[in-house]
Structure 1
Amino acid sequence: MAPPGVGGPALRAPSDYQAERGAAVGPCRWCHLPRLPYNRGVAPRDLSQPLREIVYSVAPGDAGRRLDIWLQGIVTWRSRSDLQRRIVEGRVLVDGQPARKGAKLQPGQEVRVMVDGPATEDVPTDQIPIRVIHEDQSLIVIDKAPGTVVHPVGRHVMDTIVNALHVRHHSGEGVPGDQPPMIVHRLDRDTSGVLAFAKDETARKRLGADFEARRVDKSYLAIVSGSVADDRGTIDLPIGPDVDADIKLKVACVADGKPSRTDFEIVQRSELLSLVRCHPRTGRQHQLRVHLAAIGHPILCDRLYGDPTAVTVAMLDPTRADPDRVLLDRQALHAERLAINHPMTGEPMSFEAALPPDLASLVAEP
């Protein structure tokens, strides 16, 4: 679901909830902004509005820590130097008063960080494409454009699909549903295709349970390097953390990993490329990307598991008149189909998204 935070005068500070619950309010595991509990009758932050301030409460275990170092650990979308500058300029308040960078924190203190703009470049939400495949009171399904971030995470605070959906919900243009859409599954930034959101808490819980229990059916199209020999097959390789990688989120096929299975079939092949339809039977992080790389056919332009180099005309045919023209510069992965049961009626539903122009043009190359 859309990760909540604190923003705007209508919402209470996490310290208020700490007094009620007797525990500090930690950051969201997705966007690292503060969490507010739903069982207190308070709605999540309106992600159609810019984040103006964030309020944290110091936990007992953080007693004695320096203010600037403590902030760096929880405000991951700003650098330490940026946070130090904010402290010097008086835009970080401890119990309502400006504080020094080296101030030692005490349990229960309220630390308020003033945010003067989004953490990323200003991307107007009307420039984030929302192509609706289906929408009703409980569900919205879109065709996600490549290069768009699904939800606020890290440095992406206002430039995400969730932000754009919140703006759309609050626009008053007859959008069905009483609540702004909530996340039930995700796609990587450069992956395009079918993406579903719940529009109320009941739908979110039911859809989330169906995804968790693998009661949904998904298929993806991937353009991979090389000519895959088998017309169809199964990749049954366990996936776990890549302990040798410098990038924390990278995973690998490892003997002690979690069971992971992908069925595949060839749609089209040439000497240089193959268009593969993949059916993930488990839901591991980066599963398709890792599995295809493991059999020697990484997805084109995959920055983590393959060759990130952009595909140019020269790579396919060096005799062409426009050899430097770029055909593709993002990972060639597309969520083609999603089949679910409607969260309220139980009706079987299937949604499809055609290959976007960049991938369609590449497979159409002679």
Structure 2
Amino acid sequence: MPSPPYGFRFTVAAARSGFRLDAAVAAEVESCSRSFAATLIRRGLITVNGLGKKPGYVLRAGEMVSGTIPQPEAPDFRPEKIPLNILYEDSELVVIDKPPGMVVHPSPGHIGGTLVNALMHHCPDLSGISGSLRPGIVHRLDKDTSGVLVAAKNGMAMQHLAAQFKSRQVRKRYLALVYGVPESDLGTVDLAIGRHPVDRKKMSVTTRAPRSALTHWKVRESFVGASLLEVDIRTGRTHQIRVHCHAMGHPVIGDPVYCRRGEKKRLASAAPRMAQGLRDVTRQMLHAWKLSFLHPKTGKPLTLEAPIPADMGALISKFRELAPVQS
């Protein structure tokens, strides 16, 4: 059942003097993130000494902060009994091995069958997070990218995990099967990413609004006309790996957006035995392999690993059959 609205009040202690209002509320009120606190402050639901303030208002010791946390909004989607491959779970979080083809969050084009729908069924007692009953999705994977994804079960875990992602404490390692063989065994792509200047559905390293993006990569295996890369991203820009692999001249096999025309045909010509295997590829061969972070409650490091999915594993096996694997 949804939690009813509730009020809170606290006197600013000396230790909180100098804090921003939104940060102090997030620290004092359970299951209230800083961003949600800022929203409530702007709506006038949180005051200081009875007066409305801005989220960035700097508090002084002795001031009285009071407010109301509204009832969580009912989600516009329903729990669905969808099987989940759970890699780890406790009272604070759940880590999923997301299959390719599953959308993470409901949207106008995908109102059902998403990971959130599945989590709502799996965790029916989820507490309200940032004014919503939806699970705490901290990060996302593209629909056709498989692998490790973590979701928070309560506001404290959500805030802690979000802070780790923001401060780049989380280590994210992927496996990408790409066209071609890089000249070096390892390297770094340090190219800012933003919206494509013409095609707004795409991201690009040529953009009017660049945001820093850093990708480290190394070749795990090289084949005839293709390579398996281990990719370590230190930022989390939309389509980052796919865009950076394209910029390297080694787009991800099966990528419907960033793969250059003719790549599949050229590879099939170089390795005719791969022609049917390439025709069977229906999505980008990109897998979120490992995710490392600190547990939001214990502070202990966690590393979760998702095995390579069947379709990607089958394609890698076909490449290995062509010639001996090179290190």
Same fold, judged at TM 0.5 (above): yes
Whole-angstrom CA distance in 1 between matches of 2:277 and 2:234: 39
The answer to whether structure 1 residue 277 and structure 2 residue 237 are counterparts is no
Matches within 5 A, 1:200-279: 200-245=154-199, 248-254=200-206, 257-279=210-232
Q: Give the partner amino acid of 2:206.
A: V
Closer, same or farther in 2 for the Cα pair 1:223/1:308, shift >3 Å?
A: farther
Which has the bigger relative contact order, CA under 8 A and spacing at least 6? 2
Q: What is the deviation of 1:154?
A: 2.6
Whole-angstrom CA distance in 2 between matches of 1:189 and 1:230: 30
Closer, same or farther in 2 for the Cα pair 1:192/1:203, shift >3 Å?
A: same
Give 1:173's aligned residue. Answer: none
Whole-angstrom CA distance in 1 between matches of 2:236 and 2:4: 35
Name which of 164, 168, 173 aligns with 2:122: 168
Aligned residue for 2:163, secondary structure, equals helix
Is the 8 Å Cα contact of residues 2 and 72 (structure 2) preserved in structure 1? no
Q: What is the deviation of 1:181?
A: 2.7
Name which of 282, 287, 291 aligns with 1:329: 282
Is the 8 Å Cα contact of residues 327 and 362 (structure 1) preserved in structure 2? no
Is the 8 Å Cα contact of residues 137 and 177 (structure 1) preserved in structure 2? no
Q: What is the deviation of 1:344?
A: 1.1
Is the 8 Å Cα contact of residues 309 and 329 (structure 1) preserved in structure 2? no
Closer, same or farther in 2 for the Cα pair 1:224/1:39, shift >3 Å?
A: farther
Closer, same or farther in 2 for the Cα pair 1:323/1:303, shift >3 Å?
A: closer
Q: What is the deviation of 1:261?
A: 1.1
Whole-angstrom CA distance in 1 between matches of 2:314 and 2:258: 23
Name which of 307, 316, 319 aligns with 1:354: 307
Q: What is the deviation of 1:317?
A: 4.1
Give 2:35's aligned residue. Answer: none
Structure 2 residue runs of 5 or longer lacking an equivalent are: 6-39, 46-66, 129-133, 322-327
Range moving further from structure 2, 337-346 or 305-314:
305-314
Is the 8 Å Cα contact of residues 224 and 271 (structure 2) preserved in structure 1? no
Q: Give the partner amino acid of 1:49.
A: R
Whole-angstrom CA distance in 2 between matches of 1:294 and 1:338: 25
Identity %: 38
Structure 1 residues 48-72: Cα deviation after superposition (integer angstroms, max 9, x where no partner)? 638xxxxxxxxxxxxxxxxxxxxxx
Give 1:344's aligned residue. Answer: 297
Whole-angstrom CA distance in 1 between matches of 2:278 and 2:219: 27
Give 1:40's aligned residue. Answer: 69
Closer, same or farther in 2 for the Cα pair 1:230/1:157, shift >3 Å?
A: same
Give 1:300's aligned residue. Answer: 253
Aligned residue for 1:339, secondary structure, equals strand
Whole-angstrom CA distance in 1 between matches of 2:259 and 2:186: 22
Whole-angstrom CA distance in 2 between matches of 1:261 and 1:298: 17
Q: Give the partner amino acid of 2:301.
A: P
Matches within 5 A, 1:124-203: 125-126=80-81, 128-170=82-124, 181-203=135-157
Q: Give the partner amino acid of 2:236.
A: G
Give 1:111's aligned residue. Answer: none
Whole-angstrom CA distance in 1 between matches of 2:105 and 2:283: 19
Whole-angstrom CA distance in 2 between matches of 1:166 and 1:319: 44
Aligned residue for 1:221, secondary structure, equals strand
RMSD (CA atoms): 3.4
- Compute the TM-score of the two structures, normalised by the length of structure 1: 0.63
Structure 1 residues 174-231: Cα deviation after superposition (integer angstroms, max 9, x where no partner)? xx86566310000000000000000001110110111011011110000001112210
Q: Give the partner amino acid of 1:243.
A: P
Count of residues paired in the alignment:
257
Q: What is the deviation of 1:134?
A: 0.2
Structure 1 residues 153-179: Cα deviation after superposition (integer angstroms, max 9, x where no partner)? 232112211011101223xxxxx8656
Closer, same or farther in 2 for the Cα pair 1:255/1:242, shift >3 Å?
A: closer
Q: What is the deviation of 1:149?
A: 0.3
Aligned residue for 1:234, secondary structure, equals strand
Q: What is the deviation of 1:281?
A: 1.4
Whole-angstrom CA distance in 2 between matches of 1:308 and 1:167: 42
Is the 8 Å Cα contact of residues 195 and 207 (structure 2) preserved in structure 1? no
Whole-angstrom CA distance in 2 between matches of 1:350 and 1:149: 23
Aligned residue for 1:163, secondary structure, equals helix
Aligned residue for 2:272, secondary structure, equals coil
Whole-angstrom CA distance in 2 between matches of 1:147 and 1:308: 23
Aligned residue for 1:164, secondary structure, equals helix
Aligned residue for 1:360, secondary structure, equals helix
